[in-house]
Chain A
Amino acid sequence: MSETAHTARNADHNPSWLYRNRQSIAPWLFLTPGLIFFAFYVIIPVFQSFYISTFDWNGLGDMSELGAQVGLANYVELMDDRKFHTSLINNVKWLVLYLLAIPAGLFISLFLNQTVKGIRLYKSLFFFPFVISQVVVGLVFTWFYDPKFGLLNVALGWFGIDSINVLGDPTLATYGVILAGLWPQTAYCMILYLTGLNAVDPEQVEAARLDGAKGVRMLWHVIIPQLKPATFIAFVVTIIGALRSFDLISIMTNGGPFGSTRVLSFYMFEKSLGEYGLRMGYGAAIAVVLFLIMLVFIVYFLWSMYQEERGR
């Protein structure tokens, strides 16, 4: 319809090629700046990392001159690298345990989904941990766990339990760091569910109540299905957050004790820029493994989004 209007309007002077095709040119003009930035800093580097992972290179000078092409040697080395195995296992722990943020967030949001006086302020204050930087969260929890004066051990002392050095114990340290990460992540999931609960259809709830549904059954059969969009986003951000964990480990344990809290993201950094020297190729190989793990989830997310797009 709009096409005919334009033709009518411009009938007396011959419209230029640019003018006639503006609807197909315009999107590309709008896209160009963003695409250039994104291509240079995100898309191309992903492929470059794959390429770098086939080199033995210390990061100094030009890679094609000073580095040595080693094929898949870095990946072969990874197979027998015990530090890599620890990191991989820890990543699985992070992934599984981090998901606890979703039910925990749902629980808190149900607790706070009321209309009593001052509840808005309560909601904001519960959300607080998410807004502060992970560096600060890390410091706060390091002190919380401190064997000498940490609040955790003060509390344990009330129950007559001996103090434990969470971050100094190789079997506990990773769980200690994950717990610190769960704090802000639960707050995030909570806010997602609070927004979701707002959108729950009150008529359905009332109808279910008349049918005698309440408590857990109501939650499971009526409320949770309606919270599906919130759950999906909570799932996405939690998975991403779990695989991105770096700040907390760097601040709280720096990979220790005895390398027991390493995850792939941290080990990669350590290998390429850390104190264990500059092995860019090896680091890139670790990054590629991490990327491939993430890719499984990325494909799943995109697939879900694609289904929804088509459904519109």
Chain B
Amino acid sequence: MFPTPVEKTSRTWQLTYQSLLPVALFLWLMPLIAVMVFSIKPDSDFSGGNYWGWPSSFEGFTNYGKVFFESQMPRYLLNSVFITVPTVIGAVALSCMTGFALGIYKFRANLWIFFMFVAGNFVPFQILMVPVRDLTVDMGLYNTKTGLVLFHIAFQTGFCTLFMRNFIRALPFELIEAARVEGIAEWRIFWYVVLPLMKPAIAALSVLIFTFIWNDYFWAVVLTQGAESQPVTAGITSFNAQYRAAYHLMSAGSIVAALPPVAMFFLMQKHFIAGLTLGAVK
């Protein structure tokens, strides 16, 4: 193991390390902790210039209550859910199939199609912006959640295919050969043999795509406007415009907007990390 495990080092270094850990973490997360402190402070603390002192009263419930009951925030959150969940389902479903096709079958165009998906996943968003916006407007889906979902599904399929294909490649191919000897139809091989083995990959991709889409801001701004369809990332900017200089409310709003992917991460940590390493680092 590298670096040398602290258990095997001097007592002094052990103690230093143990005390260094929380300090380092505190410094690392300081900007975030600051926002958390802001979000429970009363309004008067800000007008009185008490930015970093102890909160003069605990107003967490009032502040978060305002976010949930006196703003459009719940609406934006709900929009985010209705954009994110269908995208995850769609992209994972499509890429299970493309990943299966590219991971199992040998045909001439295989590697080219695979590289097309990979390359497409890396292109800058701006090169797609004008045509995708036009396409969405032409289909009558501008400023709808559906329009956003369809694009997200399509774009994420690139990354998901990369991931799924590599995952399927690593499965024991003898299983598929054995199934073929048995004369099982190809779609049954997909459904009954490969899909059950893909569960970890599906879980990893789901959490990852959930986070990516939840945090998307660019496409939300390009394809939607207004509270009826915008997700929370775009909504937070209008929320902030509404409560300009009300730092306690803006902080509370930001934390609410950031929370779902954070919760997702802590609940599904193992899968999340497997997904981030693109399945390449085991």
Contacts and interface: CB of A to CB of B under 8 A. Distances in A.
Contact of B186 (A22, A115, A136, A286): A22
A223 B217 contact: no
Contact of A30 (B6, B101, B119): B101
A291 B156 CA distance: 18
Contact of B123 (A115, A188, A218, A291): A291
Contacts of B157: 34, 37-38
A148 B51 CA distance: 10
Contacts, number: 294
Contacts of B255: 136
Interface stretch (A42-50, A74-82, A94-102): A42-50
Interface in A125-176: 125-129, 131-136, 139-141, 143-144, 149, 151, 154
A196 B126 CA distance: 33
B277 A233 contact: yes
B98 A30 contact: yes
A44 B116 CA distance: 12
Interface stretch (B56-64, B66-74, B105-113): B105-113
A300 B234 CA distance: 34
Interface in A4-43: 5-6, 9, 22-24, 26-28, 30-31, 33-35, 37-38, 40-43
Contact of A126 (B25, B34, B177): B25
Nearest to A50: B127
Given A40-B154, A243-B124, A244-B124, A200 B2 contact: yes
A202 interface: yes
A46 B126 CA distance: 9
A233 B281 contact: yes
Contacts of B82: none
B32 A140 contact: yes
Contact of A116 (B2, B6, B95, B277): B6
Given A38-B157, A45-B127, A199-B282, A149 B17 contact: no
A35 B281 contact: no
Interface in B206-234: 211, 214-215, 217-218, 221-222, 233
The prevalent SS among residues of A at the interface is helix
Contacts of A31: 97-98, 101-102, 113
Nearest to A215: B3
B124 A26 contact: no
A192 interface: yes
B128 A133 contact: no
Nearest to B217: A247
B3, B21, B95, B153 — most chain A CB neighbours (10 Å): B3
B29 A128 contact: yes
Given A30-B100, A246-B125, 11 more contacts: A24-B105, A34-B97, A37-B157, A45-B130, A59-B134, A128-B29, A128-B262, A133-B257, A135-B237, A233-B281, A240-B122
